[in-house]
Structure 1
Amino acid sequence: MKTTIIIFGLVLGLLYCGLYKHSDVVEPFTTNSNCPNILVQEGNKLMLLNNKKARIPGVNPIYFNNLEEYVEFANWQQANKINCPILYFQKVETATGEKGFRMMPDPIEKNAGLPTSFQQIQQPLMMQ
């Protein structure tokens, strides 16, 4: 009886693996090729770049003098139902003097290396 159940489960597992399509696994999220996808901060200046398109001065990349200008642009995009996922990088210099980029979670709240939300776990007090 046990061997029959094991064999039946094995056959079902093989059927499942054999009939599973690659298209079921692929993420359906698609992005618009017109969307800028990289935001780089250097000092107070911000550069919004679409790395899938040719660089045209004033069009790609778009430069912002400060964070408020970028926030205004992002609010305009949201109001017009333009949803573009953007990677945010900050230009940094390491202790050895090397220049590089650090990925940040959000241009408005820069919690470098910290999770965006903090969960506090409460444990009951044990009184003896």
Structure 2
Amino acid sequence: MSALIIFSQSSYAQVSASGAHTSIPFKQDKQPSDSMAYQGLAGALLAGLAAYGVILGLKRYRDKFSVNPKTARRLRTLEAIRLGKTSMLYVIEYNGQELLLAESAKGIQLLTAAQLANVQESAVNNA
């Protein structure tokens, strides 16, 4: 190993003593300079679109989990069950009431309506 180090030092000494400096051949850029401008423009456009997507995603995330009375919904679907090809049964909460709706080919019918407080109390009593 020491012979290798000595050899490399002696060859370095010979090259530096001779004074012959040769330039290192680098790969030439074959793309014209205007192509670089288009690539920069495309990169900036992609970065802008990515930033817009992140901002839009954060707004949706914020709106989904915020409980603002102005944006609070009065109508929520609590449950939905398909009974057949053309019939569904829905439990809907609307303005503090729980509604049981049936949808069929004939239309939509209200089966029962109860105040939400009464529904919660009966659920506790049944449990």
Question: Does TM, scored on the shorter chain, surpass 0.5?
Answer: no
Q: Which has the larger radius of gyration?
A: 2
Tell me which protein shows more strand as a share of its residues: 2
Tell me which protein shows more helix as a share of its residues: 2
| Larger relative contact order (CA 8 Å, sep ≥ 6) | 1
Taking structure 2 as the reference length, the TM-score comes to: 0.29
Taking structure 1 as the reference length, the TM-score comes to: 0.29
